[in-house]
Amino acid sequence: MSMAEWENREVFDIDVAASERALLRQSQLTKPPGSLGELEDAVVRLAGMQGLDCPACDKVHITVFAADHGIAKQNVSAFPQEVTRQMILNFASGGAAITVLAKHLNAHFEVVNLGTVTAIEHPSVINAFIGPGSVDFSIDEAMSAQQLEQALKVGCEAVERAKIKGADLFIAGEMGIANTTSASAIMAALLQLPGEKVAGPGTGVANEGVKHKARVIDQAINLHSNSLTSPLAVLRCLGGFEIAAMVGSYLCAAEKGIAIVVDGYISTVAAYLAIQINQDVINWMFFGHHSSEPFHRYMIEQLNVKPLLDLGMRLGEGSGAAASVSVLRLACELHRNMATFSDAGVSQ
Amino acid sequence: MSMAEWENREVFDIDVAASERALLRQSQLTKPPGSLGELEDAVVRLAGMQGLDCPACDKVHITVFAADHGIAKQNVSAFPQEVTRQMILNFASGGAAITVLAKHLNAHFEVVNLGTVTAIEHPSVINAFIGPGSVDFSIDEAMSAQQLEQALKVGCEAVERAKIKGADLFIAGEMGIANTTSASAIMAALLQLPGEKVAGPGTGVANEGVKHKARVIDQAINLHSNSLTSPLAVLRCLGGFEIAAMVGSYLCAAEKGIAIVVDGYISTVAAYLAIQINQDVINWMFFGHHSSEPFHRYMIEQLNVKPLLDLGMRLGEGSGAAASVSVLRLACELHRNMATFSDAGVSQ
């Protein structure tokens, strides 16, 4: 598939009639109109995505995309690079936050390794190796055009697996030490903002560390300035394999008509790229939570969306999106199982 | 029990050592420190309440207290008074929002009728009749001292049932047409604020209706001004039976050491009264959600708490608190089941 084809994928039509029927049903349930707030909005949107008057979110497909980042060499993370690999093994053995949440939600969970510096062979890790991590983008382009295409395709393949399993919701999570620096550099490039505006603490660097991240970003954008000509070019120069895979997964989920729950900062950056490529993709997205990474709020305002949860989480892995599934499930349960005014003989 | 005894109930000690052990465990789990945000804070608090390093919220006890309000005669609600009775029957048959949520959460649910204008006999409704609704407080005191004591005791009895069943969490919900007017009058009296500051749309009265509610409140406070000498006196003059029962339930839950999840506006007014009576009661409370009733945000700021959810709900019944249980359960699951850094061999 050529780059142009990634830029011209279709987006599945929302079933507006199903949404309208769901909205009508909400008005008949035994409660003051609108009193379930965002739970009503969510179920009405989900009805349109699924083409069902009573939508469901029982079957959740969670894919964590993981990869190493060359930019980690610039000392931009609170954790050493080998933590990417260690955490992939922690996902495989079920000890990480996202795997605990996935089990609790009875969700299908998979972790896909697009490329760690030290290779991983493990029966519970899907191997999609495209290189031993991205290149340090303070020195050169983060990945080749071929690697970008491969990474986008890895994302798409995860959605194809979700589709085959009949998933009601798709969640992409990520793991990659230093990937907030990559994500922030992407946003600085897309919005033409200085590094200090977009850089934040990530998993926990302190004040001087944030300033250092900002400088690394500014220098990288200066280095690549002639190449940052499109969202996909920005992704290639400054991104990471797992961020590219998320972008691919969002484009494909919207094409195949699977509802997406976007996670926190990194995930929202991938969503932002996908929306830049095709603005209709946003119609297939729920936003799971407000990240406490400072620039996330700015992005949420830019996108004019309101995430379901605001719990001060900043973990990644898809954990905030997974947490919000419990809220989406409440919305579906209420919509499906509440009595109508006429059923219950309640005055309207 | 005399009024003085209600004002001098003990509050069970928080197990600070258990909280500290839970905090230590959080620091050892495979995630950046603090990255689970409020989920960490919640589980650490719950550990202290339950005296357990790994607390639980599997067993949830939900009691909806219901009663009619004489003030409904003043045309302050969007719904006719018979809806109180109709909704009690809807709770009994499982068609209301709170009953759908209770079933989804596998919670114990009960509805207690403290007094509707038209009596209810139904095998699934606990009958705790203390009068055919409260008196119209624009004319006279809402209830007698004896009725107040009875209502407080009804709340306490619900907590005793929860205790016997080994409940991990207690939720009080309410139903009573016109009870936002009663709740707002209570707050106006406690905080010495004009009616226009506290009155809101409730279940859906429009602008003129809100102004009318404000005038009704101002006139009532003027009428009772010499009697509003203590929180319990305010509750007696301006409250409703179900609000009094909620106050009683909160005082008793804190005394018996059961964690409380406070619901929205009416419930937070009852919580506010309980905290006015004994400030340590707040140590036993989680706040489930931000109500979209405007004065709720002011109260939340006054209490210096942050509710777990902010979904624009304004339904009452305990629905927002019940919704938040799913978040508390995620917090407990993560705390219990995530690997530690040393378990997983992840660098710290």
Domain check: are B9 and B108 in the same one? no
What distance in Å separates the CA atoms of residue B112 and residue B64, rounded to the nearest whole number? 6
Q: Per-residue pLDDT tens for A157-205?
A: 999 999 999 999 999 999 999 999 999 999 999 999 999 999 998 888 8
Residues B45 and B66 in one domain: no
Task: Say what the pLDDT of residue B202 is.
Answer: 84
Looking at residue B317, which CATH number applies to its domain? 3.40.50.10210
Q: Is the pLDDT of residue A238 over 70?
A: yes
Q: Name the band, by pLDDT with cuts 50, 70 and 90, for residue B235.
A: very high
Same domain, yes or no: B200 and B232: yes
- Do B39 and B77 fall within a single domain? no
Query: For residue B58, is pLDDT > 70?
Result: yes
**Residue B53 burial (10 A CB sphere; 0-12, 13-18, 19+):** middle
Enumerate residues 6+ apart whose C-beta is below 8 A from A329.
A57, A58, B104, B326
**CB nearest to A32's CB, from B78, B94, B327:** B78
Q: Is the ipTM of this complex over 0.90?
A: yes
Query: B42 and B82 share a domain?
Result: no
Amino acid letter, residue B134: S
Contact A204/B at CB under 8 A: yes
Both A12 and A76 in one domain: the answer is no
Are residue A127 and residue A141 in the same domain, yes or no? yes
Within 13 Å and on the Cβ side, how many CA atoms surround B344? Answer: 27
Whether the pLDDT of residue B81 is over 60: the answer is yes
The answer on pLDDT for B90 being more than 90 is yes
The whole-number pLDDT of residue B5 equals: 87
* Catalytic member of B7, B160, B317, B333: B317
Q: Give B152-197 as a DSSP string.
A: HHHHHHHHHHHHHTT-SEEEEEEE-TTHHHHHHHHHHHHHT--HHH
pLDDT number for residue A38: 98
pLDDT at residue A348, rounded to an integer: 80
- The total number of structural domains that make up chain B: 2
The band of A97, judged by pLDDT with boundaries at 50, 70 and 90, is very high
A323 — contact with chain B (CB < 8 Å)?
Answer: yes
Give the three-class secondary structure for A14: coil
pTM check: above 0.95 = yes
Quote the domain boundaries for residue B36. 3-54+335-344
A1, pLDDT greater than 80: no
Indicate if A80 and A229 belong to the same structural domain. Answer: yes
Q: Are residues A38 and A73 in the same domain?
A: no
Cβ neighbours for A146, distance < 8 A, ≥ 6 positions apart: none
Does B131 share its domain with B10? no
Region A142-150 average pLDDT:
98
Annotated active-site residue B317? The verdict is yes
Q: Are residues A250 and A181 in the same domain?
A: yes
Do residue B292 and residue A37 have CB atoms under 8 angstroms apart?
yes
Contact between A172 and A155 (Cβ < 8 Å): yes
Percent of chain A with pLDDT over 90: 93
pLDDT level of residue A229 (50, 70, 90 thresholds):
very high
- Give the whole-angstrom CA distance, residue A321 versus residue A328: 10
Q: Which amino acid is located at A172 in the chain?
A: A
> C-alpha B247: how far from its chain's center?
8
pLDDT, residue B80, reads 92
**Which residues in A289-308 are b (16+ Cβ under 10 Å) and which e?**
bbbbbebbeebbeebeeebb
Q: Indicate whether B87 pLDDT > 90.
A: yes
Residue B166 near chain A (CB below 8 Å): no
How far apart CA A288 and CA A318 sit, in angstroms, is 9
Contact B337 A100 (CB under 8 A): yes
Question: Residue B118: how many CB atoms within 10 A of its CB?
Answer: 11
The confidence score (pLDDT) of residue B78 equals 86
CATH of the domain at B38: 1.10.1610.10
So what's the pLDDT on residue B55?
Answer: 98
Q: A203 and A111 in one domain?
A: yes
Touching check for A312 and chain B: CB below 8 Å?
A: yes
